[in-house]
Amino acid sequence: MVMAAVSRRHARLYVTVDLVILTIREEGLHVLLVERGKEPYQGQLALPGGFLRERENLPDAARRELAEETGLSDARLHLEQVATYGDPGRDPRDHVVTVSYLAIAPSLPAPVAGSDARHARWEPVDRVDRLAFDHNDVFADALERARSKLEHTTLATVFCAETFTIGELRRVYEAVWGGPVDARNFNRKVTGTDGFVVPTGETRRSTPGRPAALYRAGPAKTLYPPMLRTNIGAPTSEWTRINTMRA
């Protein structure tokens, strides 16, 4: 049986992946940006990314680009698809559809010098503005995804090292949500939720101050009931983008 090829009448497009790589540095949430080395948008900051290769699937492309930018392929990294943007005018050169991925890692070092990351740098998330292409939207959607995920899942532990204190975990929430989280209620919620964290039995000393108990990430993925953002502005959750359709 002969199988017909796809009609040549259909559009053929380039597909890229764009990465929103988040980490926590200097007590604040940062995103990795690169300076465009050539047109279009030369000199402007953009999210890192690249073109899909022949017969390459999307997550592999995202992992490849991530490894290029951060040098990491650690399994503890979080990588998840967020949205797809396909406005024909988003890239002046040609019709390019991009699939964005949220990547989260424990404290990442300064960007490595590579051919694509020559002018890469960590930017505080509240300082991100005027990115190339539609990357402002891409970034905003991924940031909101990260914020929502901290409400409903135990994802925050991915921002931490293998062992961490409750205080460190709470500061992750504060960095991602952009506001204070009550230490007493946070401690009760996290340690009272089965599978969120697992005590190691050891402590980490700080000078001065009471030594803090150390924990590892537990097996639970879902945080149920969720820990909702309350006193940090009105929730502009990704839930509310009814009829949201990325172009």
Partner DNA sequence: GGCGGTTAATGTCAGAAAGACACTAATGAA
Partner DNA sequence: TTCATTAGTGTCTTTCTGACATTAACCGCC
Where does this chain bind a second copy (CB under 8 A)?
A: 1, 3-7, 10-15, 38-40, 51-59, 62, 78-81, 83-88, 91-97, 99, 101, 148-149, 152-153, 155, 221-226, 228, 235, 237, 239-247
Give the angle 220-75-149 at the CA atoms, nearest 5°.
45
Binding residues (CB under 7 A) for DNA: these are 165-167, 182-185, 187-189, 191-192, 203, 205-213, 225-228, 230-231
Q: Which does 92 bind (CB under 5 to 8 A by kind): DNA, a second copy, none?
A: a second copy
For residues 121 and 204, which CB has a smaller minimum distance to DNA in the complex?
Answer: 204
For residues 56 and 182, which CB has a smaller minimum distance to DNA in the complex?
Answer: 182
Work out how close the CB of 78 gets to DNA at its nearest, in angstroms, rounded to a whole number.
Answer: 23
Q: Which residues pair with 97 in a beta bridge?
A: 15
Work out how close the CB of 244 gets to DNA at its nearest, in angstroms, rounded to a whole number.
Answer: 24
Distances (CA, A) of 42 to 36, 46, 117, 135, 149: 5, 10, 14, 14, 34
For residues 36 and 204, which CB has a smaller minimum distance to a second copy in the complex?
Answer: 36
Nearest Cα to 187, choosing from 211, 204, 166?
Answer: 166
Cβ pair 190, 169 in contact under 8 A: yes
For residues 236 and 244, which CB has a smaller minimum distance to DNA in the complex?
Answer: 236
Q: Which does 196 bind (CB under 5 to 8 A by kind): a second copy, DNA, none?
A: none
Residue 112 CA to residue 6 CA, distance in Å, equals 42
Q: Which does 172 bind (CB under 5 to 8 A by kind): DNA, a second copy, none?
A: none
Residue 164 CA to residue 212 CA, distance in Å, equals 9
3-class DSSP state of 38: coil
Cβ pair 30, 143 in contact under 8 A: no
For residues 90 and 229, which CB has a smaller minimum distance to DNA in the complex?
Answer: 229
